[in-house]
Structure 1
Amino acid sequence: MSIAASPIRFPDAASRTVMTRRAWWLVCLNFLIPGSPQVLAGDRKLGRFGLGTTLALWALAVVALVTWLLAPAALYTMFSTSITLWIVAAVLAFYAVVWFVLTLDTLRLVRLVKTAPSARGWIAGLTAVLMLFLSGSAAYGAYLATTASGFLSSVFVAGPSEPPIDGRYNVLLLGGDAGPDRDGLRPDSIRVVSIDADTGQAVSIGLPRNMVDVPFNDDSPLHELYPDGYGAIDGCEVDVCMLNSIYTEVELKSPDMYPEAVSQGSEPGIEAMRDAAEGITGLEIQYYVLIDMQGFLDLIDALGGVTINVPEDIPIHADETFTTVAEWIPAGEQHLDGYHALWYARSRHGTSDYDRMARQLQIQEAVLAQFNPANVLSKFQEIAAAGTQVVKTDVPQGMLGYFVDLARKTKELPVIAVEMVPDNGVDPEDPDYEYIRQLVQQAIAPPTEEPADG
């Protein structure tokens, strides 16, 4: 083999121009096709190993891309389990090491002392930057994968998936009134989100916490105790017999009503609230998510704040009496951090519970709109840390991929809001539950117009 036939493997070492050009080629090839510099100019055995790992990675990327285009839910499901994420972490750690070794070997093959003195610093610097990019990205990816695995294990349960009911998934969302300035927890925000399992169309049903005479289905253990509604005849076991008191009563007075709640990733009080929400709406609820106020605050901060249109000045209270104003959130478009978004959602001074429900829904919709791949990936560590503040959820890991894909569809459609408030013909202090169930059914299955005869 002549020198001219293989200038990469057998260069003219006496020519600084040739060696410099060869060095640039090797450095770029190592970045574009790791392993190729070794095949062309070094240890062919190491090169074949490097090329094999590179081609294997490309093949995996192509398979992942095709799967994402044809069946995104399958890809989301695969990458939303702890075991898969640990495998991904191990693979990325392996590539971080391989690329580090290949880059160092490429720098050896370059033979810097034979290149032009003016180019040596640039060649070495570019090699270091590309090595940091390749190996550093893989190592950081491995770190994110292990973090995500820990996040999933700490928040989501390992249990069987539930099928849709009448083509829908119904989720109970509870906002726990606990935070850095409060002891204990009680549901302050109560909402049922019903999602079409095919289209992703979501109906958000707001339930005022002060609803009374809450009915329970016949199969609920609370039905035997309150056959005519919660506290409707002889009162209840706590001071105020309202919807959000059901959680407190069952947790403190009668947790034995739901003996299997804890083993199934729930709490007796949460299961009581599920029964109450089912009795009110007429929907069967498969899952619940409960997040406390501190988790809400941290999540907003992790997302970099949230932008909303504030219709009127909203006060921030100076103390728990909710009477003294410390500062105001001015009307107009505002970008709120977690602290101000939390107070926007919970402020009571001069407003009603129904105003608060509207503001809570506004914040929820704004947060949903900000959940996009770029935002989540760029701030994943902060979002994962905030996610661990989710107090309870029984959504199983096996359903996460499906729900991620469903949420993608949901974001593309307007959320249908149904608030059980006086403006919608509902008096929470004297509720007509038959009418409430009619409102729910009209929202999730609106009547279709019959075609005209002839």
Structure 2
Amino acid sequence: MSIASPLRFPDTGSAPTMTKRAWWLVGLNILLPGSVQVLAGDRRLGRLGIIATGLLWVLALAALVVYLIWPTVIYTMFTQAVSLWTAQIVLVLYAVLWVVLTLDTLRLVRLVKTKANARGWIAASAVVVLVGLTCTAGYGSVLAGSARGALGDIFSAGPSQPPVDGRYNIMLLGGDAGPDRDGLRPDSMSVVSIDANTGQAVTIGLPRDLDPVPFPSDSPMHTLYPDGYGFKGRCDVDVCQLNSIYTEVTVYKSDLYPAATSQNSDPGIESMRDALEGATGLTIQYYVLIDMQGFADLVDALGGVDITVKDKLPIGGDENLNGVVDWIQPGKQHLNGYYAQWYARSRHGTSDYDRMMRQRQLQDAILKQVNPVNVVSKFEGIADAGTQVVKTDIPQSMLGYFVDLGMKTRKLPVKQLELVPPTIDPTHPDYTQIHQLVRDAVAPATPSPTSSK
């Protein structure tokens, strides 16, 4: 008699033997799905289960090895629609196969032949494992579907851009479209410059009241404003300053950027890109627009954000504090999306430059809280908020690279350059000085070695 015979041809008249056999079958189904059918049931079904399980293990081990050697490949795979769609289908099919194998295992166990006091435990063990693993596979499939939808909604299918002077420069705009505002306008503007190899990042903050603002010579806005936007009060809106450019182009001059929409952008954003390139002297490959209302949803999806509040800040109200509905108190605070949004927006008793610093503080705090456990556990909410909070022209094909670069960035301190008083005077900016400050920040000079005597 072969080794498989006691499992395939048991002594059905012996309750102890059948009970022992039942535990063996349930355990084998957990350890190697399909092995039960090979030993005691339909061998073709069993071989299918073993092959499917083996392939999953091989794929998982291969992915682990590739991740350890070349993580960018894994990041790229799991940020592409085709890979996510494939993962979704595979997880669903394997979950269905697992259900079939487990139900067939319970049939082969023949509970009525086991000890009466063991039947419930045997069945419960099989069902608990079945529910746990199939729910895990099902949830993984849901996450893959949510990721595929969110990534497709947020990121474009455009061409990738190479680094310039070894760096990627990304324009970050904070669009203030809160519940008490009409339309959207850039309320905060910065350029994040990232070393394409090390991930070292520099955040360059620009005040919204910068005036005048130069444009690169190849910008259509340079033709209209050769001496800079706002020079001697020249512009086509009420206030001539940096963030007015977005409004002016959006409302009056959208035809200057006819290709913007097809490139997952809009004329206002492209005019701001030109303005920030002129102001900083950097070439900006990509932009990210963050809507403040969507920002609140993102903070809620992450479970709030921990911030050390320096000064008491009002929520709502006018300059005389009429209509204030609440206050953000000083000290260590855990802010939900609503309070975080007001922490970034509050104006009373503070300057635009204070608000810029608070917004940078929020960005850093959120970056620290975005970790794999937090993202996976709250992924659907984050993905849903992401489609509202972010607009960008970063192509989906570059996501794997930027995820890998971002992991490097998180390990390094982010440098800050704020182009605000007393460093510069926004109403009389010296762009020779500004460009030198930017060059020093993104590529600091190497100290010359001292000669030994």
Match of 2:445 in 1: 447
CA distance in 1, matches of 2:10, 2:440: 79
Match of 1:386 in 2: 385
Match of 1:147 in 2: 146
Q: Is contact 2:4–2:40 with CA below 8 Å preserved after alignment?
A: no
Moved more, 365-374 or 37-46: 37-46
Amino acid at match of 1:134: L
Match of 1:251 in 2: 250
Q: Is contact 1:317–1:349 with CA below 8 Å preserved after alignment?
A: no
Query: Which SS does the other structure have where 1:55 is aligned?
Result: helix
Query: Which SS does the other structure have where 1:283 is aligned?
Result: coil
Superposed displacement of residue 225, structure 1: 0.7
Tell whether 2:197 aligns with 1:198. yes
Match of 2:331 in 1: 332
Match of 1:126 in 2: 125
Superposed displacement of residue 57, structure 1: 0.4
CA distance in 1, matches of 2:373, 2:321: 38
Gaps of 5+ in 2: none
CA-based RMSD of the aligned residues comes to: 1.4
Superposed displacement of residue 392, structure 1: 2.3
CA distance in 1, matches of 2:84, 2:179: 33
CA distance in 1, matches of 2:4, 2:52: 28
Map Cα deviations across residues 352-398 of structure 1 (whole Å, 9 max, x no partner). Answer: 00000000000000000111111000000000000001352100000
Match of 1:23 in 2: 22
In the TM superposition, 1:414-429 aligns within 5 A as 414-423=413-422, 425-429=423-427
Match of 1:433 in 2: 431
CA distance in 2, matches of 1:323, 1:206: 31
Q: Is contact 2:176–2:293 with CA below 8 Å preserved after alignment?
A: no
Q: Is contact 2:293–2:389 with CA below 8 Å preserved after alignment?
A: no
CA distance in 2, matches of 1:16, 1:314: 74
* CA shift in 2, pair 1:234/1:182, >3 Å: closer
* CA shift in 2, pair 1:119/1:313, >3 Å: same
Superposed displacement of residue 128, structure 1: 1.1
CA distance in 2, matches of 1:408, 1:391: 20
Map Cα deviations across residues 56-98 of structure 1 (whole Å, 9 max, x no partner). Answer: 0000001100111011111111111111111111111110111
Superposed displacement of residue 180, structure 1: 2.4
Superposed displacement of residue 319, structure 1: 6.0
TM-score, reference length from structure 2 = 0.97
* CA shift in 2, pair 1:115/1:394, >3 Å: same
Query: Which SS does the other structure have where 1:351 is aligned?
Result: coil
Amino acid at match of 1:447: A
**Once the two structures are aligned, what percentage of the paired residues are identical?**
64
The count of residues paired between Structure 1 and Structure 2 equals 452
Match of 2:81 in 1: 82
CA distance in 2, matches of 1:322, 1:438: 41
Superposed displacement of residue 325, structure 1: 2.7
CA distance in 2, matches of 1:239, 1:307: 38
CA distance in 1, matches of 2:160, 2:271: 21
* CA shift in 2, pair 1:245/1:222, >3 Å: same
Query: Which SS does the other structure have where 2:169 is aligned?
Result: strand
Amino acid at match of 2:449: P
Match of 1:347 in 2: 346
Q: Is contact 1:168–1:195 with CA below 8 Å preserved after alignment?
A: yes
CA distance in 1, matches of 2:322, 2:420: 24
* CA shift in 2, pair 1:411/1:5, >3 Å: closer
Match of 2:207 in 1: 208
Superposed displacement of residue 435, structure 1: 1.0
In the TM superposition, 1:197-276 aligns within 5 A as 197-233=196-232, 235-276=234-275
Query: Which SS does the other structure have where 1:199 is aligned?
Result: coil
* CA shift in 2, pair 1:234/1:344, >3 Å: closer
Match of 1:160 in 2: 159
* CA shift in 2, pair 1:243/1:398, >3 Å: same
* CA shift in 2, pair 1:323/1:436, >3 Å: farther
CA distance in 2, matches of 1:158, 1:194: 23
Amino acid at match of 1:420: L
Amino acid at match of 1:162: Q
CA distance in 2, matches of 1:186, 1:321: 24
In the TM superposition, 1:92-111 aligns within 5 A as 92-111=91-110
Q: Is contact 2:233–2:240 with CA below 8 Å preserved after alignment?
A: no
CA distance in 1, matches of 2:435, 2:233: 26
Map Cα deviations across residues 243-266 of structure 1 (whole Å, 9 max, x no partner). Answer: 000000000010011111011110
Match of 2:13 in 1: 14
CA distance in 2, matches of 1:241, 1:339: 31
Q: Is contact 1:322–1:348 with CA below 8 Å preserved after alignment?
A: no
Amino acid at match of 1:372: N
TM-score, reference length from structure 1 = 0.97
Match of 1:184 in 2: 183
In the TM superposition, 1:35-114 aligns within 5 A as 35-114=34-113
Match of 2:311 in 1: 312
Q: Is contact 1:170–1:285 with CA below 8 Å preserved after alignment?
A: yes
* CA shift in 2, pair 1:442/1:5, >3 Å: closer
Q: Is contact 2:174–2:292 with CA below 8 Å preserved after alignment?
A: yes
Match of 1:372 in 2: 371
CA distance in 1, matches of 2:201, 2:181: 32
Query: Which SS does the other structure have where 1:160 is aligned?
Result: coil
Amino acid at match of 2:130: M
* CA shift in 2, pair 1:5/1:271, >3 Å: closer
Map Cα deviations across residues 128-151 of structure 1 (whole Å, 9 max, x no partner). Answer: 111112222112211211111111
